[in-house]
Each structure stands twice: as C-alpha cells, then as structure tokens.
Chain A
Amino acid sequence: MMMILLRRLHPQTLRVLALALVLVLVILFFSSQIDNYFSPRMLNRIATSAAVILPIAIGQALVVITRNVDLSVGSLVGIVAYLIGDFLGKHQGLDPFSTLVLALSLGGICGAINGTLVAYGRVPSIIATLGTLALFRTFLVEYSGARTITTESLPPWIVEFPQAVLFSIGNFEVRAMVVIALVAALIFGLALSKLRLVRKLYAVGSNPDAAVMSGINSKRVVFMAFVLSGVLAGLSGLIFLAKFGNITVVAGLGFELKSIAAVVVGGVNIFGGSGTILGVLFGTILVDTIDNSLTRWAVVSEFWRDALLGMLILTAVAADTFMARSFVRMKRKNALKPKTLPPEIRNGK
C-alpha cells in the first residue's frame, strides 16, 4: 500500500506533504508548551511576519530554480522600504496603487542590475549579488545620511494598512497584507506550473546546455528571474514599510539568509531545476512559526533561535537528499524487476 502510494506520487508532492506534516507536528508541539498558542494574536504575529518574507522567498525560489542565488534581496528590501517611505513623506497625496507600482518598479530596476551582471556579464551570481548586497546597502546609507523614516511622516493610509482586516473567521482576522503576500504566491505558483515563459526557468535550471540547444534564450530567462526577484523584493519592501513604519538604514539586513532558508526548507533544489511555490510557502511558514514560537517559549532562552534555525535548515536539506536518493534507488530496483518492464520490451526480447 505504502509502496503504491510512493510510486503514484511525484517526489515533489511527497516533499510538500512531508513538510506539511512537520509543520503540523511543530505547531502541536508548541501548542502544548505555550499557553494560549492558538490565540488570534499569535496567528497574526506569525502571519504578518511571514508576509514580509514570503515575497522575497518566492523571488529567491525563481532565481534558485535557474541555478543561481540572489544574496542582495535583503539590501533591496531595505532600499525599497526606505526610498518609498522617503518619497511618501514628501508626496503625501500619492495613492496606494501608484505607490505599489513605484515600489515594484524600483525593485525591478535593482533586480535588472543583478540580472545584467549575471546573465549578460557572465559574473557568477554568488559574486555579483555579494557585490550588489554591499553596493545597494552603501547607497542606502549614503543617501539616508543617518536619518530615520518615522511613522509620523507617512500618509495615514499606509500607517493603518497593517491593521486593515479583509475578513474574519470567528476570532481570527485575516489581514490585508497577508492576503497580498498570498496572492503573490498564488500568481507565481500558477505561473510556474502553467505559463510556458515561466516554465523555461526549470529548463534552464535543470540543464542549461540542453535548454540552449532546444532554442531557449537562457540569458534572457536568467535575466527575467533576477528582475522578478527584484520586483518581489520591492513588494516585500513595501510590506516591510507598512508593517514597521519606522525605517532605518539597517532595514532588511540579513533577509537574504531568511529567504534562502525558507526556499531550501521548502524543498527547492539548490542546484536548480526543481521546486514548487507551495513548498516555498510551507517553508516560509515553518521557519517563521519556529522563529516566532521560540521567542515565546519559556524553556529555552530566545538566543537559541538562530542555533536551532541553522539546525532546521540542515535537517531539511539532509532529509531532502536522503529522500531523493532512496527514491532513485527504489525506481532503479523496480526497473530491474522484469514485471515492471513495458510489455513490448518483455516480449520483444
């Protein structure tokens, strides 16, 4: 029975199911440890902090699928949050939609710089984005002149936005910013499974040579991945601005690690070519749930958070590696059995 199930399911589906199971176990564990764990406050706390990370995690996934990595997303979130906050302070009348467009295009332009360097300049992504991580942050520090964007300087609609509730189920409110992040996940999840243009990301990531030979312009695809990562970092930056209101030059510092953690835990292969947005969504929620729950857990000091997060990432990747290997072994074993060979081969011999 188990074997039939294993054979029927795609390994990616299996991976997401395992992740969901782990998430449920983690939630059950913490609910037995922390009083009042299932309160609306706790849910909101986790949901809103996951909403900031989810867009950059999706962007990171798109880039990782093409066999690259974007280390500059943290600096991008900082730049967008700060510059848009600064701009809104000077132009109070700007409407939400224009602000969104502005934030996304600002992120997209920065992403295009990364994309140009990696795709057309042929600089390895880890070098290029390590460099732009420093460059973008420097630009922000120099531009800001050590000023802080404060909540008072922002127009009221963006300050009130984090409290905006779209609808509520019983006591649980669903915040608008959470919905925005989820919509982004839905759009990219569908695009990755349905859109031909976006599916080229997988082709380039799983075998760049074969992709080029089958007529895919792999440079343009890699460029597109970095631009999309920038656009999504712009969305994260805007959510960050709305959530915190007070923005300093260290905004988004270290987010690149969080996004990579979410992507890797979510089962995206770091060598490119595979991964799903559903997995990334679960990965983000899992990392965030653990992060937020550990701060509330009285048994261990909150300083254990990072140490445990590191272990979690390793465990996830190790589990992934073992699963992939045993899957290959299982397939090979089945292939050796004469029964499983297709009839024409069995009879024709």
Chain B
Amino acid sequence: MMLKSETQSWKTATFFFFKSWEGLLVIILAIILSANMFLVPQFLTLQNQINLFQLSNEKIIVALAMTFIIISAEIDLSVASVMGLSACAFAYLVQGGMPAGVAIVICLFVGAAAGAINAFWIAYIGIPSLVVTLAMLIGFRGLARVLLEDKGIGNFPEWVNALGRDGFIGPFPLAFIVFVILLIIFGITLHRTGFGRQVYVIGNNADVARYSGVNVVRIRSILFIMSGTVSALAGLFYAARLASVRGDAANGFELDIITMVLLGGVSIFGGKGSMLGVLLSILIVLNLRNGMALENITGHIQTAVIGILLISSVLIPNLIENLRISNPTKKKTISVSGE
C-alpha cells in the first residue's frame, strides 16, 4: 500500500472501473431520462430533443476531437478560443464584403493554422500541451478581440443564419448532422484503424510508441491540426446559430467540452477511453442540463452540478478502490514495477 505510487493506483482504479464504465453511464443516463420524463411532461417531444442538441451542437462536435487529444495523453485548452477566433474572423471577413462561402473556407484554414501552431510547439519543440494551449487560449482569444474590438457584428447572409436556425434534413439542423457524421467517422477511426490504435499507444507510453516505430510527432501534429479545424467549424456553427458574433464568443466552453470527455471515461493520463463512453456522457450532460432548464434551474447551478458530476466521476471509483484495498480478505498485492 505504501509502496504504490500515485499514478499506479490511479491506473488500477481506472482499470477496475473501465470494464464497467459504459455500463455505469448507461444506468446514470437511464435514471436521468426517467426522472426527466417523470418531472417534465413535454420532455419526450421531438422538438425538445432537437432543442437539447441545438443549444450545444458546437460543444459536442469539439468534444469528439478532444477525445482523440486526451486519449493521446495531451490536452487542448485553446479549443474555445479557436472557436471564437474562427467566428470572429468569419464576421470580420463578411463585414468586409467577402462572400460568406469564401469566408467559411478561410476560417477553416485559420482553425487548421491555429492547430498547426499548437502542434509545432507541442510535437516538434516538445513543450507540454497544457502550457502551450493555455498560452494559446489567451493568445487566440486576444486575436479574436483584435479583429472585432468591442463591436458585435451580425448581418450575415440569410442562408448562413438559416443554416444555424432551421432544420437541414427534416427537423435536424446541419450542425447536428455534422455531429453524427463526425461521430461515425471518428468512432471508426479511433476503434477500427491503425491510426486509432497508434493514438492509444502514444497515450499509454509515448516512448514505447516511438521505439516501436510509431511516428509520434506526425500523429500528434495531425491530432492538434484536426482539433483546430474541428473547433473552427464549430465556431462557424456557433456564429450561424447566434446570427451575431462578439469578441468573447464561445468563451469558457473548454470546461464543458473537457467535462464531457472525462465523464465519458477517458483517462486524463491518456491511453484509455472510447467514443461510446463519450457519446453516453454527452447525452447525460445534455439531458441533465435540459431537464434542469425545463425545471427552471439557472445556468450557474447547472454548471455546478456538471462540476460535481465531473469530480465524483473520478472520486467515487477511487473511494471504492480504497475500500477494496483496506478490506483484508480481498487484499491485493500490488508490486512496484519500474518505468
């Protein structure tokens, strides 16, 4: 017990509970859904189900990209600032008279470039991603403010607003459809391709990955550029949905996004997690927020509940593991292994 290191105990904890993590999430989701149905009669209408996604489409799209990043044992705190930067760049370009279609393409490239800047410092220079993306959280947000100063810019072409507001296929808005498509593509990439396996290997042990021939630098670069591009896309959806952009667009979204991913059972130390878990945790967070909103509980309390959920998702498995170890009949011997 005394010889066991912090990280090892953490890993054993996740090991014990990872097996049943998705199962646990399904149970939580079922409880929340039935509570919502019981408390709020209009909960199960199609319109409410669409609303539930509509308000967070941008965040859940970015959460998919964040899943890859965290599984590879990195973190991207700059996503919300990239979303804001892309939304502001879009507003700036459209106001300057550029056709919205061209502006969209440019903004996606801005996102890719932002991701490439992160990738350069993290993958090539080797500075921790926590520091780089924290600096870029400030830096990209600063650039967004430079573009719009303290103005709010609206007046987008009508088709842009319509894309954000109306259903694209049937009642489903484009952002939701993009989310589903990305979910399928990312899910297959993560779980069924060599690239996905390599992401897990890097997350487990980057040195081992490098010695066994995985091009760590290249994969990390791809992940961060992908994260930047997806964030830029989400930022555009955000601009279209609100039909107006300010310098602080999407400010603070990184908290919600990271919460969704970690609650989905993805380990902050990398190497563990699944798209299914993240999808389930997205559904939990959205339904919880929606149910609370329908019950007239304010946004701040909602954030606090999500925060408690995030902490307890790690704390409770740890506490149960503590009990298991202190129970002498089931005592496990845990040896100290080298690096």
Docked pose: A69 CA to B319 CA in angstroms: 22
Interface set of B (CB-CB < 8 Å, partner A)? 2-3, 5-6, 9-10, 13, 75, 121, 125-128, 130-132, 134-143, 145-146, 149, 247, 255, 258-259, 262, 268-269, 300-301, 303-304, 306-308, 310-311, 314-315, 318-319, 336
Docked pose: A318 CA to B117 CA in angstroms: 13
Taking a contact as CB atoms under 8 Å apart, the answer to whether A317 and B308 are in contact is no
Provide the residues of chain B in CB contact with A139, threshold 8 Å: 304
Taking a contact as CB atoms under 8 Å apart, the answer to whether B2 and A310 are in contact is no
For A307, give the chain B residue with the smallest CB separation: B142
Q: Can you name 26 A-B residue pairings with CB atoms under 8 Å? A: A117-B311, A121-B318, A121-B319, A124-B269, A126-B130, A127-B262, A131-B310, A134-B307, A135-B307, A135-B308, A137-B303, A138-B307, A208-B5, A209-B336, A212-B2, A257-B134, A257-B138, A305-B142, A307-B142, A307-B146, A309-B138, A309-B142, A311-B135, A314-B136, A317-B135, A318-B125
For B134, give the chain A residue with the smallest CB separation: A260
Tell whether A123 pairs with B300 under 8 Å between CB atoms, given A313-B135, A317-B131: no
Chain A contact-residue range equals: 35 or more
Taking a contact as CB atoms under 8 Å apart, the answer to whether B311 and A317 are in contact is no
For A315, give the chain B residue with the smallest CB separation: B135
Tell whether A264 pairs with B268 under 8 Å between CB atoms, given A142-B301, A310-B140: no
Docked pose: A117 CA to B121 CA in angstroms: 32
Taking a contact as CB atoms under 8 Å apart, the answer to whether B315 and A121 are in contact is yes
Provide the residues of chain A in CB contact with B146, threshold 8 Å: 301, 303-304, 307
Quick one: which of A292-327 are within 8 Å of B by CB?
A: 301, 303-311, 313-314, 317-318, 321
Tell whether A122 pairs with B6 under 8 Å between CB atoms, given A313-B135, A318-B125: yes
Query: Does A141 interact with chain B (Cβ within 8 Å)?
Result: yes
Docked pose: A139 CA to B307 CA in angstroms: 12
Provide the residues of chain A in CB contact with B128, threshold 8 Å: 270-271
Docked pose: A121 CA to B10 CA in angstroms: 10
Tell whether A127 pairs with B139 under 8 Å between CB atoms, given A208-B5, A321-B125: no
Choose one: B2, B127, B143, B258; the contact of A130 (CB below 8 Å): B258
For B117, give the chain A residue with the smallest CB separation: A314
Docked pose: A124 CA to B138 CA in angstroms: 23
Tell whether A131 pairs with B138 under 8 Å between CB atoms, given A122-B318, A270-B130: no
Nearest Cβ on chain A to B334's Cβ, whole angstroms: 13
What DSSP secondary structure best describes chain B's contact surface?
helix
Most chain B CB neighbours (cut-off 10 Å) among A128, A301, A303, A308: A303
Nearest Cβ on chain A to B188's Cβ, whole angstroms: 28
Tell whether A127 pairs with B268 under 8 Å between CB atoms, given A122-B318, A142-B300: yes
Provide the residues of chain A in CB contact with B149, threshold 8 Å: 301, 303
Taking a contact as CB atoms under 8 Å apart, the answer to whether B319 and A314 are in contact is no
Taking a contact as CB atoms under 8 Å apart, the answer to whether B138 and A306 are in contact is yes
For B135, give the chain A residue with the smallest CB separation: A313
Docked pose: A218 CA to B132 CA in angstroms: 28
For B4, give the chain A residue with the smallest CB separation: A212
Choose one: B134, B300, B310; the contact of A138 (CB below 8 Å): B300
Query: Does A2 interact with chain B (Cβ within 8 Å)?
Result: no
For B254, give the chain A residue with the smallest CB separation: A130
Taking a contact as CB atoms under 8 Å apart, the answer to whether A321 and B10 are in contact is no
Provide the residues of chain A in CB contact with B9, threshold 8 Å: 122
Contact with B along A146-190 (1 / 0, CB 8 A): 000000000000000000000000000000000000000000000
Docked pose: A303 CA to B145 CA in angstroms: 6
Nearest Cβ on chain B to A24's Cβ, whole angstroms: 23
Query: Does A213 interact with chain B (Cβ within 8 Å)?
Result: yes
Most chain B CB neighbours (cut-off 10 Å) among A132, A308, A318: A318
Quick one: which of A232-288 are within 8 Å of B by CB?
A: 257, 260-261, 264, 270-271
Docked pose: A132 CA to B5 CA in angstroms: 25
For B150, give the chain A residue with the smallest CB separation: A303
Besides A307-B143, A310-B142, A318-B127, 12 other A-B contacts (C-beta < 8 A): A121-B314, A124-B268, A127-B310, A127-B311, A128-B314, A137-B303, A208-B5, A208-B6, A218-B6, A310-B135, A311-B135, A321-B125
